Structure formats: C-alpha cells, structure tokens
Amino acid sequence: MTSSSTATEISTHRLEAHEYQQNFADLHPPLNAHQASVEASRCYFCYDAPCMTACPTSIDIPLFIRQIMTGNTTGAARTIFAENIMGGMCARVCPTETLCEEACVRNSCEEKPVTIGFLQRFATDAYMETAQHPFKRAPETGKTVAVVGGGPAGMSCAHRLAALGHSVTVFEAREKSGGLNEFGIASYKSTENFAAREIDFILSIGGIEVKNGQALGDGLELDALRQNYDAVFLALGQGGSNNLGLDGEDVDGVINAIDYIADLRQTPDLGALPVGRRIVVIGGGMTAIDIAVQTKLLGADDVVIAYRRGQQQMNASRYEQELAQTRGVKIVHWAKPVELNSASGNVQAVRFERTSLDEGGKLVGTGETFELAADMVFKAIGQVLLTEPIANSAGPELTRGRIMVNDERKTSLNNVWAGGDCIDGGEDLTVVAVEDGKIAATSIDLYLKSNAA
C-alpha cells in the first residue's frame, strides 16, 4: 500500500460495497446502436475535416462516422485502428473537448459538437468484442526491434512494426503492460479491465513478444539492446515524480498521486484503500483531477485541489475541471504550498501562500498565507524522466531533461528511436504517444529496409 498511516482520520471502507461499484462505474456508458446512429447522422462529412486535422493520430473521422451511419461498424473500426491501434482507449481518455470535438464545425452553429469520442468508442468496442484483429502481418522480414516500455508509445510502435513484418520484443518493467493506461488514468475511464484487454488485442496481430519485469538498467542495458537488435525504440515514460521541495515531505500522508492511482487501479478491493477525510491535492493537470475525484469517490469528505496559477493555466481541460467540481472537489487557484505541518509523523495541514503575476508576468508570492487541514496530501506536480537506467550506456542526447528526437522520433543514436512521455515535447497524452510510436515505426521500417541495419 502507498502509506501506512497512524492518523485516525485515515481509514478504509468508508463506503458500502455497492457505493464503490457505483462511484467507479463507467464515466460515460457506451452509446447504444440507436444513439450512435442518431449522433453519426449529425456529422457533416466536412471537406478537409477540421476534426481530423485536430486528431494527433489523424484518424479519418468523417469516414468512420459515415461508416457507422451506414451500419458498417466493422469498417468504422478498421478506419480508426488504421491510424490509431489504441483507438479504444483514446475514445475513453482523450480530452476530445480540446482536440477533435473542439474543431467540429457544429460548434459554430449550435455549440454542440458531434460526440466523436463516444462514436469512436461505439465502433471500437463493437469490433473488439468480435475478438478479431483488423490487420494481417506482412511477411517476416527477419529484422528485430527492441521496444523498451509497454505503454501507449511502445505498444503502438510494436504493433506497427509487427504489421510491417518485423519481429518485436517489448521489455516492460512492470508485471503488466499498458503503462499509464493500466496504472495511471482514472479508474472510471477504463472500466472492466479495458487497458489489459486492449493490450491483448494489439498483441493478437502476432510477431510481438512481451517480456515483463524487465527494466532498463536492471540487467537490461541499452548498449546490449543496440547490439542484439536491429533497432531500439525507447518508450520509457516518466518514472519519477516531482517533489514540492518542502521540509517534511517524507512524513506519512504526503503521497505521489501517481503511485496512489496505480494502487487504486490494481486493487481488487477499493474499500481496502486507506483514504483521509480531508484531502489536499497539489497540481493543476489531469493527474490532479484524477486523484482528487477518485479520493472523493472513495469517501473523502473535503477534497481541495490547490494550483499555483489561475484556471486558464491549468493543464487539465475545462471539461475535467468541471467534472471534478461536479463531484464535489473544490479548486483553489493562485496558491502555492510553502509549509507542511505534521504531528507524530503524519501530515496535518498545508500552509499556502497566495500568488499573483508581477508586471513581468512572473509568478510571485503575495506574502498572504492560509492553511488547509489535510490527512493526506497528494503531489501531482508532474513527472520526470529517470535517467539512471540509461546512465551505464552511451545514452541518447537529452534536452530539458528528456530525450531529444527529430521529427521521425529518432534520437541522437543511429539505431535508437524514442517516443511518448520520455521525449522532449511529449504532451502526456495517450493519443500523442500512440502517434509517436507510429511515426517512429515508419522511420524504423525505412531504416531496416534501407539495409543500414
């Protein structure tokens, strides 16, 4: 468990079993066939469709929606998977309100976009239930690729390479693949073990071997991989969490949000998770929202997200912010933590200083402070790439603490590519990671076929 606390205000089983079930049910129940047909008919089949341009993976959205409209759900799913093999998960977790649906021209006339995400889920769910795979592998090329990391970027890259006929080995540090899809995102966005089912779906193309429990730097070295495989794709994610930089951060009750969410996603019994009555979440991104909402759903009384800047600057979309607020989470802006107060080894409260922007646009403290009582304090202020695993090898060049890549996701090393959250410019989005994997796979394929390997 994340934290064994002695504080009396932290406890398990705050709710009845059925309440957990209800609270962590699917956030958006899937569309039925009638709903999908009605919604699909709203699509205008735009020329050079803005939604398609807005999609990081360039899914042909007007085409797949028209396929749904004509009853060709199978074709719709193939259209989606052709560009995004994780179309199922992206339909669930993409911030569509800032991507495809924001670009929908229906916004201009009626402020209500076609619900592209729901339609995508309709098609992909239906297809995945058939237990088929939409693609056939090209004949074996005899080339081998090592993919390090079994998250969205790694699996996307592995799938495309396998489809092109290469043999792929995925090395995944954890016992389960899927990365943040499996361990990171909020539980109510990926119900019924969807992340794991999606991995099985991807692997069903064949040609991909997954080795779990194999972490880079722990008996698995980049140098050796580069020697033993024709190419390497690094999809390491960001294994480290940022710290607040305050005294007493190691007391009980101060927790990395990402770790707690991982426990939450894997536990067979949500009631067994200890949760406080008063929760303070520090951060302004999707993880902050996810931990805040989920602790509330686990039975916490007061959950406050404190963010050092304003609403506009929050990385979490407006939709996500509203989701949190409608679940009873309070969001406090312009407040940065300055002190952790604890007693008997347990956190008791966080003192915040109010902030503002000075004339130069720099964030400054105003000197005014206030305190929020807290049984648990969650840190959700970003992740960092852990560089130790590649320290023993001739590693790729880094920039701003992450791996530097070119447009083809190639690193400074001649047979090493990288993608996902570990690269500079990564956007912490599943859909962007999938695209990274796709782009890298195309580049790797060209490299392998050019015989340079």
Q: Work out whether the CA dihedral 121, 123, 124, 127 comes out positive or negative.
A: positive
Using CB under 8 A, which residues numbered 268 to 307 contact other proteins? none
What residue has token string 């007693």?
A: 343
- Judged by CB under 8 A, which stretch of 39-47, 159-167, 185-193, 215-223 contacts other proteins? 39-47
Binding flags for other proteins, 141-160, as an x/- string (CB under 8 A): --------------------
Q: Which is nearer to other proteins, 47 or 129 (CB)?
A: 47
Helix (H) or strand (E) holding 341: strand 335-343
Report the residue count for the chain. Answer: 453
Told to check if 109 binds other proteins by CB under 8 A, we report yes
What residue has token string 């019994």?
A: 269
Told to check if 45 binds other proteins by CB under 8 A, we report yes
Q: Is 289 left (phi over 0), alpha (psi -120 to 50) or beta?
A: alpha
Told to check if 111 binds other proteins by CB under 8 A, we report no
Told to check if 50 binds other proteins by CB under 8 A, we report yes
Nearest residue to 147 via CA among 438, 400, 393, 394: 438
What residue has token string 């079994």?
A: 150
**Single residue of 1, 6, 22, 44 touching other proteins by CB under 8 A:** 44
**Single residue of 14, 106, 197, 351 touching other proteins by CB under 8 A:** 106
Told to check if 47 binds other proteins by CB under 8 A, we report yes
Q: Which is nearer to other proteins, 18 or 34 (CB)?
A: 34
**Single residue of 21, 41, 132, 193 touching other proteins by CB under 8 A:** 41
CB of 50 to other proteins, least distance (A): 7
CB of 291 to other proteins, least distance (A): 39
What residue has token string 């009853």?
A: 71
What residue has token string 């009873």?
A: 328
Q: Which is nearer to other proteins, 71 or 345 (CB)?
A: 71
Task: Please classify residue 246 by burial: count the beta carbons closer than 10 Å to its beta carbon, then call 0-12 exposed, 13-18 middle and 19+ buried.
Answer: middle
> Cβ distance 127 to 426 under 8 Å?
no
> Cβ distance 95 to 124 under 8 Å?
no
How many residues lie near other proteins (CB under 8 A)? 15
CB of 45 to other proteins, least distance (A): 7
Binding residues for other proteins, rule: CB under 8 A, are 37-38, 41-42, 44-50, 105-106, 108-109
